[in-house]
Structure 1
């Protein structure tokens, strides 16, 4: 006996929660969301309290319209659910003139006339003395940027979807999906579903259900760290915006304190080690990594206790090009979103909307062909 739905969203993390919300809210389709653990579980790539949101984007100005749409949707979700999701204190990019990512950030601001404030070295030291900066350093405050409470946002997305009529199945892993005739059969441990279309948003587990991704998407690890300021009020959201820093070959990002005790300061570079499976990712942060992160944090920021008061290991799915995969299967029945390469959370609601557009056949000007799987190279440079 089958349970029948029009659309199933498999994986209710960053993008899946938003896709379920968009489908349940904006269509008349019978939507079911499936999560192998509980909603808002601690194993997802979104875990770790918060994420930075940027409208001025150093990965490329072409992403700005997608980010602006996401921002609108984040605020809409916040309003609909009554949950505080978006930290609107701006996003401070601290860098050296001429550094390519910083110049691309400035180009994003110019092209889209984004509201911002610029700081010379002296102005930066006066406005944000928490930052220890070298002579010649500049900064720009992206006034549309800020932070997002990532775990709460996932909960809010599923909450809004269920309130709009969506069905939730959690605590059950999908064992397989199979196209049969004009439908798709989804096998779970205790039941079998029959649906017309599927959205696969299983993040770092995507290749388990979509084997064609195995040579295109890998898993990278990322360590998150929180430090205790001697005076937490100096790192409160009203005086210390979310930030992105590049200095002396070190890349750091973080958000203000959300618990009046610790501030999230993460030292992260593109991972040299990549894995085939989440199971291969180290479960904890090594002592050597903690010591390196601590050196960077106390070099860049004033009055931090050098030992992180909290740290955790996470993972992310990555593509060679760092361009996300947003792909509609040739059958028109399966949308796969994967390989967000550590930048996906800020885009999540817009990607959920793109999934809805692809399934319903609605043209969306923000969808570009290079998102398609056929335009992504594998690890040896072949296009899939």
Structure 2
């Protein structure tokens, strides 16, 4: 273990932790990051080649200003790497016209003065012929939407932080975080080190380290799938943007990255809980693939319906689907940043910035009150 001293520790260098490490280092803070696996690993919530970005909100109006600010930070991070981290393809949310998610997306774009169009079924089908559009469907376009490259983004943020002086300890499992009178001790198998404050961003492993989080952040298994395109040029990023289908069918997807396959995710019900994070079942039942194939055949007929690749990952879900971001109720020296419930990656840069605010000042000027860890989600620390 590194013996360097630091003022702040970041536990977990996935989506949120890597960005917190970067933002703290950019602001001149002496910071030390710990990651139990490698940087940009495929075991948590930051694997799978792509993540959808959109500034429109389908649920929480306060998300949209954060997404707009996140976009600027993504562009700033991209200045420090050769690979493209964000590609702006434009996107669309489509589904029945009365769907709450559609109405919320329209309101968020309108209220924040963001470019968008609302397309009725005929225009929607003409604009996006790759999708099957049903009578009564509408679409909301988002010209600012696109896709992020999660693995490259995490690696770039950590590398940039290291250039700025951050200490980084990959393949180092933190087994305990212990608040004491003299600071907060971070304990690994190689010893311990004390910091002024600690950012806890362990993703689906939150229950092991975040006080009271065993019930508040549930690890769930996510399956991502790739399908062969019958005519790959129809799914090139220049002509096929990111999408999300809402309502009676819940799906999302991306343009082709390799000129052959298209990534599509379809959700039928709650993702299955992972009870043993040390032994995650990576097997995908053929019945699940068959069920997904039926939806692909119905709504995206330009794709071969049987997946050619399936990848599993784990993400941490909170009971209300909102993140936990802010000081821990048990000790304000602990900054909680977890429970992003499958929709946190596009916000990762701004969430890292806000976590840095809390680690430096104990507060933030941005409205994240709806993410407060003390919103009766965490159990008392003594119950663990």
> So what's the TM-score if we normalise by structure 2?
0.93
Are positions 1:369 and 2:374 aligned together?
Answer: no
1:108-166 per-position Cα deviation (integer Å, ceiling 9, x unaligned): 11111111133222222222211111122211211111111111111111111111111
CA contact (8 A) 1:91 1:143 kept: yes
C-alpha distance in 2 between matches for 1:2 and 1:16? 21
Report the counterpart of residue 32 of structure 2 in structure 1: 32
CA contact (8 A) 1:55 1:144 kept: yes
Are positions 1:184 and 2:184 aligned together?
Answer: yes
Report the counterpart of residue 6 of structure 2 in structure 1: 5
Report the counterpart of residue 213 of structure 1 in structure 2: 213
Q: CA deviation at 1:37?
A: 1.0
CA contact (8 A) 2:226 2:308 kept: yes
C-alpha distance in 1 between matches for 2:225 and 2:16? 24
Q: CA deviation at 1:77?
A: 0.6
Q: Counterparts in 2 of 1:69-80, with a 5 A limit?
A: 69-80=69-80
Report the counterpart of residue 240 of structure 1 in structure 2: 240
Q: CA deviation at 1:368?
A: 2.7
Q: CA deviation at 1:340?
A: 0.6
Aligned residue for 1:61, secondary structure, equals coil
Q: Counterparts in 2 of 1:295-374, with a 5 A limit?
A: 295-329=294-328, 331-361=331-361, 363-374=363-374
Q: Counterparts in 2 of 1:149-168, with a 5 A limit?
A: 149-168=149-168
1:345-375 per-position Cα deviation (integer Å, ceiling 9, x unaligned): 1111111111111111175332332322220
> Which range moved further: 317-326 or 135-144?
135-144
> Which range moved further: 52-61 or 74-83?
74-83
C-alpha distance in 1 between matches for 2:342 and 2:284? 18
- Provide runs of 4+ in structure 1 moved above 4 Å: none
Report the counterpart of residue 21 of structure 2 in structure 1: 20
C-alpha distance in 2 between matches for 1:255 and 1:200? 31
Report the counterpart of residue 274 of structure 1 in structure 2: 273
C-alpha distance in 1 between matches for 2:269 and 2:143? 26
Report the counterpart of residue 134 of structure 1 in structure 2: 134
> Which range moved further: 169-178 or 357-366?
357-366
CA contact (8 A) 2:179 2:331 kept: no
C-alpha distance in 2 between matches for 1:336 and 1:9? 10
> So what's the TM-score if we normalise by structure 1?
0.93
> Which range moved further: 249-258 or 117-126?
117-126
Are positions 1:294 and 2:293 aligned together?
Answer: yes
C-alpha distance in 2 between matches for 1:335 and 1:172? 20
Q: CA 1:94 to 1:324, structure 2 compared with 1: closer, same or farther past 3 Å?
A: same
C-alpha distance in 2 between matches for 1:196 and 1:327? 16
Aligned residue for 1:5, secondary structure, equals coil
Q: CA 1:369 to 1:163, structure 2 compared with 1: closer, same or farther past 3 Å?
A: same
1:82-130 per-position Cα deviation (integer Å, ceiling 9, x unaligned): 3301120112111111111111111111111111133222222222211
Q: CA deviation at 1:211?
A: 4.0
Report the counterpart of residue 121 of structure 1 in structure 2: 121
Give the root-mean-square deviation of aligned CA atoms: 2.0
> Which range moved further: 50-59 or 281-290?
281-290
C-alpha distance in 1 between matches for 2:308 and 2:275? 31
Report the counterpart of residue 110 of structure 2 in structure 1: 110
Report the counterpart of residue 42 of structure 2 in structure 1: 42
> Which range moved further: 57-66 or 235-244?
57-66
